[in-house]
Amino acid sequence: MQRVLLAGFGFMGKKHADVYHLFPDACVVAVVDPRGEDLGESLRASHLEGVPVFASLASAMEEVEFSVVDICLPTDIHRTIALEAFAAGKHVFCEKPIALTRSDASDMTLAAHQSDRHFMVGHCIRFWPEYITLKRIVDSGEHGRLLSLSLSRRTGRPSYSIDDWVNKPDRCLGAALDLHIHDADFLLHLLGAPEAVFSQGLRDETGWSSISTQYLYDGRIVTADGAWNYPANWGFQMRYTAVFERAVLDFDSRSALTLAAGEAEPIALLMPPHDGYYHELAYFIGCLERSETVSISTGDQASASLDLVLAEIQSADTGKQISLK
C-alpha cells in the first residue's frame, strides 16, 4: 500500500485525490496546502475528511508516515518541494510542466537520480486512451505511414487558479507552456525530437496566450496549436487529425474518436473507461508496488518536453526557426 502526501489541493490536487480513492493499493494520508482552514468541504467531497492538512512538508513529516509526495502545486514551486521530498527519501509524482526553467528541471532530475527514488511527471496525454490509440496505429503501421498530424488544445483563460498564479507570466509562462506542453510532450513520445521548430505566438499581460508551431520532421507535416484566448463559453477542447497512407484518425474531445479507412464509412472507436489522469497514476503506483523503474513520463523526458516548448517560445519571440539537432 502506497501512502501518499498530496502537496497542493487545488484543481489538480482534487483530481488526483479522486483517482487515488479508486485504487486499492494507494491512499492519501496527508495534504500540504497553506489554505488548510478553507479546505474542509473540498476534502470531504474527495473522501479525505479527517486527513490532516499541514502548512509545510517538514511539519507533515514530523507527524505522518508516507512514501510518496504527489506535487500539484503552482509550477514555479515544483522544484523546492521536489528537492525537499527527494532529500527525505520520498518517491515523487509531479504535475506537468516539470518546471518553468531548464535549471530548475535539471536540479530536480539530478536530485531524483541521486536519491534513487522514483520520479514521474504528469504528462497525462501519454496515458490518454485516444492518444494511446494514435501511437499504437502509428507504431504498428497498420494503415500505412503517418503523413501528417495536427494537434490542438483550446480553451478560455483559466480563472480558477489560487492567487491567479496561472495568469502571471513569471509563475506560468502562459498557454504556450502550461497548456501546449501536453502536445509537445506527446509528439516527443510519438515521433521523437523534430529537427527544428518554427512558431508564432501571441503575448499579452498574462504571458504567451497562444502558440502555433510547425515541427520539422523528415517527410511529414506536423503542426500543433495551443491557446487559452478563446471565449469562456468555448469550454475545453483537445483534438487531433492524423492522416495515414490508407486512413484518417480524427479525435475531438467533444465527440468520438473516428477512423476513416479505405472506402468504408468512418467508424467510432470505443475507448476503455477512465481518462489519462487515472491511467498515469495507476502506472506510477503500479511501478512502486512492483519496484519497477518508471520509464514513461520520466523526469528526463519531461525536461526534454520543457526544452522543446522553450525552443518554440524562442522561435515565436525571435521570428526565427530554431534548430534542435
Instruction: Quote the radius of gyration of the chain (alpha carbons, Å).
Output: 20
* Angle ∠(29,34,40) on CA atoms, nearest 5: 60
Interface residue with ligand NAD among 64, 77, 248, 260 (CB under 6 A) is: 77
Q: Does 122 bind ligand NAD (CB under 6 A)?
A: yes
CB of 160 to ligand NAD, least distance (A): 6
Residues 86-115 that bind ligand NAD (CB under 6 A): 95-96
Beta bridge partners of 322: 197
Least distance in Å: CB of 186 to ligand NAD? Answer: 12
Closest separation between CB of residue 307 and ligand NAD, Å?
17
Task: Please answer whether residues 1 and 26 qualify as being in contact, where contact means their C-beta atoms are separated by less than 8 angstroms.
Answer: yes
The C-alpha cell that represents 100 in the structure block: 518553468
Cross-sheet strand order for the sheet of 68-71: 53-54, 26-32, 2-7, 68-71, 91-95, 119-122
Q: Which is nearer to ligand NAD, 173 or 322 (CB)?
A: 173
- State the Cα–Cα distance between residues 219 and 257, nearest whole angstrom: 25
How many positions of this chain bind ligand NAD (CB under 6 A)? Answer: 25
Interatomic CA distance for residues 157 and 228, integer angstroms: 5
- Helix then strand count (H, E) for the chain reads 11, 15
**224 bridge partner residues:** 151, 213
Give the three cell numbers for residue 317.
Answer: 519571440
- 11 counts as binding ligand NAD under rule CB under 6 A: yes
The answer to whether 7 contacts ligand NAD (rule: CB under 6 A) is: yes
The verdict on 84 binding ligand NAD (CB under 6 A) reads no
Binders of ligand NAD among 201-240, rule CB under 6 A?
Answer: none
Site string for ligand NAD, 146-175 (x = CB under 6 A): --------------xxx--x----------
Integer Cα distance of 127 and 142 in angstroms: 21
Q: With binding defined as CB under 6 A, does residue 33 bind ligand NAD? A: yes
Query: Would you count residue 36 as binding ligand NAD (CB under 6 A)?
Result: no
Q: Return the residue of 5, 6, 10, 294 that touches ligand NAD, per CB under 6 A.
A: 10
> Residues in the site for ligand NAD, rule: CB under 6 A?
7-13, 32-35, 72-75, 77, 95-96, 122, 124, 160-162, 165, 178
